[in-house]
Amino acid sequence: MKALLSFFTVFPGRGAYLEEAAEEVHLLPLVGVVTGLPGAMLLLAAYAWPPGVAAPLALGAVLLAAGLHHADGLLDVGDALMVRGSPNRRREALRDTRVGIGGLGALFLIYAPSVGALTALCAASPGRAALALFAGEVSARSAMLLTLAFGEPVDRRSSSVPFVRALSGERRTIGIVLALLGPLPFLLATGAVAPLAILTAPLVALGALRISAAKFGGIGGDVVGATGEASRAVLLVLLSATA
């Protein structure tokens, strides 16, 4: 896990090469437990301050714990989806460092509902909100892992290539099982409808795979990151409906 945490989080550790992190990618859902910890602690502080303050700080904490890396992917994908024309033109937009209205819209559509859902959960029970955030973080990494396990890289230069290549044989099986079952302990602890909520990661990953194949011709690092952010948002909104 050391290489995986070094690559996917901002927590102190030795620098990891892409290939080293790829060898451990089947354990990616477990990274969500680590990134979820600072956000969960802030949500528990809602016993002392308003939920409307705790929720955005908690979401900000988990995004910062991941180095805002996946938020950047969401921004790029949002801009690229606004481009009309061929998949090649959209892939060029993914590499464009400028920020457009599509990216800003994507950030709003994903993070605004996430904050609203966390606020509602926190108002009902800060403890349950903390568990929901853990579930959301594990679900986000589970959706990313499933996208890598079943996706086809858009080209050989994509940062997703080493991870897709590493997910073969026993690692692929372990990764898929962990991705499907990883959020379950936290979902059961929230008292939510776990059989329904556990479908979030695979369904979001399936949607991402279909969209990326049609719009870009395959997956890349930005698509994988955006998929995780979308999965967290969907799960939190779903859990808030049962708060």
Domain boundaries, the chain: 28-240
Name the more confident of 150 and 87. Answer: 150
Cα distance between the two ends of the chain? 34
Q: Cα 198–203–204 angle (5° rounding)?
A: 105
Question: What would the two tokens of residue 117 be?
Answer: 């859902």
Residue 214 has pLDDT above 60, yes or no: yes
pLDDT at 192 over 80: no
pLDDT at 93: 73
Burial bucket for residue 52 (CB in 10 Å: 0-12, 13-18, 19+) = middle
Residue range 12-30: mean pLDDT, rounded: 78
Give the pLDDT score at 145. Answer: 96
Residues paired with residue 153 on neighbouring β-strands, in sequence order: 219
Residue 30 has a pLDDT of 94
Taking only the tens place, the pLDDT of each residue in 39-90 is 999 999 878 889 999 999 999 999 999 888 888 888 888 888 888 877 788 8
pLDDT at 13 over 90: no
Q: Nearest 5°: phi and psi at 241?
A: -70, -20
Percent of the chain with pLDDT over 90: 50
Structure confidence by residue, pLDDT tens digits, 105-146 = 989 999 999 999 999 999 999 999 999 999 999 999 999 999
Report the pLDDT averaged over residues 216-230: 91
Are the beta carbons of 36 and 136 closer than 8 angstroms?
yes
Contact in structure between 204 and 233 (CB atoms under 8 Å): no
Strand partners, 219: 153
Which alpha helices (H) appear in the chain, and where do they start and end? 2-8, 18-23, 28-44, 51-65, 69-81, 87-95, 101-124, 126-150, 161-166, 169-181, 184-190, 194-197, 200-215, 221-240
- Give the residue among 228, 230, 235, 165 at the shortest CA–CA distance from 29: 228
Q: Using CB atoms within 10 A of its CB, is residue 14 exposed (0-12), middle (13-18) or buried (19+)?
A: exposed
Q: What is the pTM of this model?
A: 0.91
- Residues 209 and 162: their CA atoms lie apart, in Å, by 18
